[in-house]
């Protein structure tokens, strides 16, 4: 039978953290602190949009659900959100299983400990500014209408339609791959 080696169990030395090296600021930590500081100077709506974007980068699925909430206020350690009645899935995600993770990401991004609080009043929802998802949908619709107008007035397109005797029925705008799709490496072909 091998000899037993005594194990030190005192709260001194490394067990207490005394021998750990001093924490040095890494470039990533310094950049993150600067980003949080710059966010705190923004109006509440812009701070909220930055927080939603940070959550989307960390977890796109719950970030999408968060983007459907209209921010009522950020004050007193609370972020008050209201959801439209037709966004029940997104509301359930935000105030259900994803709440702790969302609060962690939002607090980290905004530089203060925040809790997500649901505002169920229809009046509060009506008075709040548009949600991030609503703003993005409006921007997308405006952009697509402008592109369609340019295509319909393009001399080259008009010339082709004249030569071929055709008409332009529909213009489809193809969106570039999202940042999360670009980050995921393509799977190799199985035939190769």
- pLDDT tens column, 68-77: 999 998 888 8
- Residues 84, 146, single domain; the answer is no
Tens-place pLDDT, residues 59-116? 999 999 999 999 998 888 899 999 988 888 999 999 999 999 999 999 998 888 989 9
Tens-place pLDDT, residues 123-137? 888 888 899 999 999
- Residues 39, 104, single domain; the answer is yes
Task: Specify if 48 maps to a domain.
Answer: yes
Give me the pLDDT at residue 189, please.
52
pLDDT category of residue 168 using cuts at 50, 70 and 90: confident
- Residues 38, 87, single domain; the answer is yes
2-30 core/surface letters (b: 16 or more CB in 10 A; e: else):
eeeeeeeeeeeeeeeeeeeeeeeeeeeee
Give me the pLDDT at residue 170, please.
86
Name the 3-class secondary structure at 151: helix
Q: What is the largest CA-CA distance in the chain?
A: 96
Residue 89, domain CATH: 3.30.300.180
- Residues 49, 61, single domain; the answer is yes
- Residues 45, 110, single domain; the answer is yes
Q: Rounded to an integer, what distance in angstroms lies between the CA atom of residue 172 and that of residue 148?
A: 8
Range of the domain at 140: 133-183
Q: What percent of the chain has pLDDT over 70?
A: 70
- Residues 113, 68, single domain; the answer is yes
Name the 3-class secondary structure at 113: coil
Q: What percent of the chain has pLDDT over 90?
A: 41
- Residues 112, 60, single domain; the answer is yes
Give me the pLDDT at residue 5, please.
63
**Domain total of the chain:** 2
């Amino acid at each position: 039978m091998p000899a037993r080696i005594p194990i030190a169990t005192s709260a001194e030395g490394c067990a207490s953290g005394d021998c750990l090296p001093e924490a040095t600021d890494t470039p990533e930590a310094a950049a993150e602190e600067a980003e949080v500081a710059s966010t705190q100077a923004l109006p509440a709506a812009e701070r909220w949009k930055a927080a939603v974007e940070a959550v989307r980068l960390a977890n796109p699925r719950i970030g999408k659900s968060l983007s459907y909430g209209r921010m009522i206020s950020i004050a007193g350690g609370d972020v008050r959100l209201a959801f439209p009645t037709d966004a029940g899935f997104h509301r359930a995600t935000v105030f259900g299983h994803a709440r702790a993770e969302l609060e962690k990401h939002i607090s980290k991004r905004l530089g203060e400990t925040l809790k997500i609080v649901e505002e169920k009043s229809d009046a509060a929802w009506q008075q709040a500014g548009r949600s991030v998802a609503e703003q993005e949908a409006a921007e997308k619709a405006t952009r697509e209408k402008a592109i369609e107008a340019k295509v319909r007035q393009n001399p080259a397109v008009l010339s082709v339609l004249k030569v071929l005797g055709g008409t332009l029925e529909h213009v489809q705008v193809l969106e570039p791959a999202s940042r999360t799709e670009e980050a995921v490496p393509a799977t190799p072909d199985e035939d190769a």
